[in-house]
């Protein structure tokens, strides 16, 4: 098949690009070319900024695709642009939305594609909902061949997936663990979550490409493995061969205590217990099965990060913030104990 990925070199999309190349599809990547060198040979590069609509229109003039997928669209105006560029030029358009768009607070911890979309806590999620609404309008009114994909927490080998981290990514938490310092876990660590390795995600995603039953549908792609946050962080500690030293902090406290948008990422997402029902995905892609267990996948992440200096970006400000939060709560606890009844 002739497939165009807008982006194609990110956390989710790199594994898809690699697998499409391996399967000998005619793959085109539309991006600025900054990270294409990390992919194996066997794809065509369309070097352009997707936001430069006129330049992209010129570069794809006369081209038609079996599938176009946009991995870097976040607001409706970007999908309006995609519609102008690709209407009549593709048999399928896949938009990567987000499972964070599902209703918060949840009415049922079991999530499927019929769960309402509503997230008052996170603008990112509300924008994804608006994107979905626009595309489905174009499907209903104009026959635009849309498939909406909702990933949850998907990770690759270059970053350890976490609940609480700073603006520079996950390495500082790894460093805290290696230094024997406690790490902040939201809540009491018992809420449920799902981690999906990008290679598992790629298998399901490719099964939706060219799938006539996926047109006009929304499909979530996650692993079936359910973990508590304690299990997630314990698996990371085990992979580092260090003691697990959690420090539990209420999610609403974290949401108010730092400039890290924890209200969105925690209250609007990770602080909620979720279990994903992937029945619809498995009807559409009967051969799909997520096979990379988290404790196995996270060891791969740790090994990669510790052997690649470029992944070891320290975040001194976040480290100091963690210490400040922990010390403040310990001081408050001491004062309460000293005051008696």
Provide the domain limits for residue 129.
92-332
Q: Is 178 a member of any domain?
A: yes
What CATH number does residue 97 fall under?
A: 3.40.50.720
Residues 319/271/265/117 CA torsion (nearest 10 deg) = 180
- Residue 134 has what DSSP assignment? H
The total of structural domains in the chain comes to: 1
User: Which residues contact residue 96 at a Cβ distance below 8 angstroms, ignoring those fewer than 6 apart?
Assistant: 12, 69, 70, 71, 73, 149, 151
- Terminal alpha carbon distance of the chain: 72
Q: Is 307 a member of any domain?
A: yes
Q: pLDDT digit of tens for each residue in the chain (341 aa)?
A: 999 999 999 999 999 999 999 999 999 999 988 888 888 899 999 999 999 999 999 999 999 999 999 999 999 999 999 999 999 999 999 999 999 999 998 889 999 999 999 999 999 999 999 999 999 999 999 999 999 999 999 999 998 999 999 999 999 999 999 999 999 999 999 999 999 999 999 999 999 999 999 999 999 999 999 999 999 999 999 999 999 999 999 999 999 997 788 999 999 999 999 999 999 999 999 999 999 999 999 999 999 999 999 999 999 999 999 999 999 999 999 999 887 66
Q: Is 180 a member of any domain?
A: yes
Cα–Cα distance measured from residue 100 to residue 128, given in angstroms and rounded to the nearest whole number = 9
Cα–Cα distance measured from residue 187 to residue 250, given in angstroms and rounded to the nearest whole number = 5
* Number of other residues whose CB lies within 10 A of the CB of residue 213: 12
Q: Is 153 a member of any domain?
A: yes
User: Which residues contact residue 88 at a Cβ distance below 8 angstroms, ignoring those fewer than 6 apart?
Assistant: none
CA-wise closest residue to 26 among 61, 1, 59 = 1
Q: What is the pLDDT of residues 243-294, one digit of tens each?
A: 999 999 999 999 999 778 899 999 999 999 999 999 999 999 999 999 999 9
* Number of other residues whose CB lies within 10 A of the CB of residue 220: 24
Cα–Cα distance measured from residue 79 to residue 70, given in angstroms and rounded to the nearest whole number = 9
Q: What is the pLDDT of residues 67-113, one digit of tens each?
A: 999 999 999 999 999 999 999 999 999 999 999 999 998 889 999 99
Q: Is 1 a member of any domain?
A: no
Q: Is 129 a member of any domain?
A: yes
Q: Is 31 a member of any domain?
A: no
Helix (H, G, I), strand (E, B) or coil at 190: coil
Q: Is 340 a member of any domain?
A: no
Cα–Cα distance measured from residue 246 to residue 336, given in angstroms and rounded to the nearest whole number = 22
Cα–Cα distance measured from residue 40 to residue 21, given in angstroms and rounded to the nearest whole number = 8
Cα–Cα distance measured from residue 46 to residue 16, given in angstroms and rounded to the nearest whole number = 17
């Amino acid at each position: 098949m002739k497939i165009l990925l807008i982006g194609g070199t990110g956390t989710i999309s790199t594994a898809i690009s690699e697998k499409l190349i391996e399967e000998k599809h005619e793959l085109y990547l539309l991006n600025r070319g900054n990270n294409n060198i990390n992919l194996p040979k066997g794809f065509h590069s369309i070097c352009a900024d997707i936001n430069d609509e006129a330049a992209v229109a010129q570069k794809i003039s006369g081209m038609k695709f079996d599938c176009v997928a946009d991995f870097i669209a976040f607001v409706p105006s970007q999908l309006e642009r995609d519609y102008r560029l690709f209407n009549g030029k593709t048999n399928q358009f896949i938009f990567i939305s987000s499972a964070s768009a599902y209703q918060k607070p949840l009415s049922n911890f079991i999530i499927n594609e019929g769960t309402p979309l509503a997230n008052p806590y996170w603008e990112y999620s509300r924008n994804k909902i608006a994107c979905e609404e626009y595309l489905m309008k174009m499907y209903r009114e104009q026959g635009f061949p849309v498939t909406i994909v909702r990933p949850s927490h998907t990770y690759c080998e270059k970053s350890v997936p976490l609940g609480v981290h700073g603006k520079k990514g996950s390495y500082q938490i790894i460093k805290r663990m290696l230094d024997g310092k406690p790490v902040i876990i939201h809540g009491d660590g018992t809420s449920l979550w799902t981690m999906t390795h990008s290679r598992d995600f790629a298998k399901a995603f490719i099964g939706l490409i060219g799938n006539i039953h996926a047109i006009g549908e929304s499909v979530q792609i996650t692993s079936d493995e359910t973990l508590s946050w304690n299990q997630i962080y314990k698996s990371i500690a085990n992979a580092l061969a260090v003691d697990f030293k959690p420090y539990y902090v209420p999610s609403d406290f974290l949401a108010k205590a730092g400039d890290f948008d924890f209200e969105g990422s925690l209250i609007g997402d990770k602080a909620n217990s979720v279990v994903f029902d992937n029945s619809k995905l498995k009807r559409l892609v009967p051969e799909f099965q997520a096979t990379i267990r988290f404790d196995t996948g996270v060891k791969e992440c740790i090994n990669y990060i510790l052997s690649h200096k470029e992944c070891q970006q320290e975040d001194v400000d976040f480290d100091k913030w963690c210490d400040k939060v922990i010390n403040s709560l310990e001081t408050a606890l001491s004062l309460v104990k000293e005051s008696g009844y």
